[in-house]
Amino acid sequence: MKIGFIGLGIMGKPMSKNLLKAGYELIVCDIVREAVDELVAAGAKAAASPKEIAQQVEIIITMLPNSPEVKEVVLGKNGVLEGARPGLILADMSSIAPQASREIAAKLAEKGVEMLDAPVSGGQPKAIDGTLSVMVGGKKEVFERCLPVFKAMAASVVHVGEIGAGNVAKLANQIVVALNIAAVSEALVLAAKAGVEPELVFKAIRGGLAGSTVMEAKVPLMLDRKFNPGFRINLHIKDLDNALNAGHQFGSPLPLTALVREILEALKVEGLGDCDHGALVRYFEKQAKTELKRFPTG
């Protein structure tokens, strides 16, 4: 099966490499030439445009920053739609606004092209080891055709409803992750300020009801002061903006989401937008005038 992959960034590059490892023939496209060259060296073929990819493949995967980029790549000049033929499937694995997914799908349907919105969760580490979680919206029969492809990149793949439902699920995921990081940060900074070793507090509570995947992933990095991006603050801001817009659209208040979104904005203003979202702890450190870190041993 020939697959097109558009968007070879921090997530798309390892995801596409896992498709190559699974034996799929891959044609790739990205605005960063070095990323394309790296994939070509790994066994992929390069295309000059999304249109050129659409003319050659059965499935196209897009992994792009936000709704405008997906619309441009799919509907713009030399985009997917210009090269598409009936029967092509577009699986957009970007995290975008649910309404944008529905608008793009409607345009594609006019040319006989099917679409799934299939955003992922897990960040760069799980993209690398192929254990992402994928939440998919679209027709069930189209989902079934793409399931083996998704499984080459993910440990969990769940069909959650019609087009747009995947991105609603992703927004819910991003709300939970952001609020969880904030809660963990606030709690462990309290421990540090009180003179109690944060690592021991982490060990004490991780096995109880407070334990979470977010805690397991982020606390060790916080304690080691490692804030290089697995998932950037700027991208989480984008996701929470989409969540807040969806909340307004559907009449579902999101007050806690709004609060954490503003905390992330404060960090962005301080120049930390390209740090991992675990750097959210630095907001609470600044307020408490203390630093979360491992205590000296011995």
15 Cβ contact list (under 8 Å, min separation 6): 5, 61, 63, 93, 120, 127, 132, 153
Name the catalytic one among 51, 170, 218, 238: 170
193 Cβ contact list (under 8 Å, min separation 6): 288, 290
The answer to whether the Cα torsion of 13, 16, 20, 22 is positive or negative is positive
CA dist 195 to 181, 282, 296, Å? 21, 18, 13
- Residue 240 token pair: 């929470």
Antiparallel, parallel or unpaired: β 59-62 and 89-92: parallel
Q: Which residues of 247-276 are buried (b: 16+ CB within 10 A; e: fewer)?
A: beeeeeebeebeebbebbeebbeeebbebb
Instruction: Give the 3-state secondary structure of 96-145.
Output: CCHHHHHHHHHHHHCCCCEEEECCEECHHHHHHHCCEEEEEECCHHHHHH
CA dihedral 36, 42, 45, 48 (to 10 degrees): 0
| Active-site annotation holds for 170 | yes
Helix (H, G, I), strand (E, B) or coil at 231: coil
> Which one-letter amino acid corresponds to residue 224?
D
Q: Which residues are catalytic?
A: 170
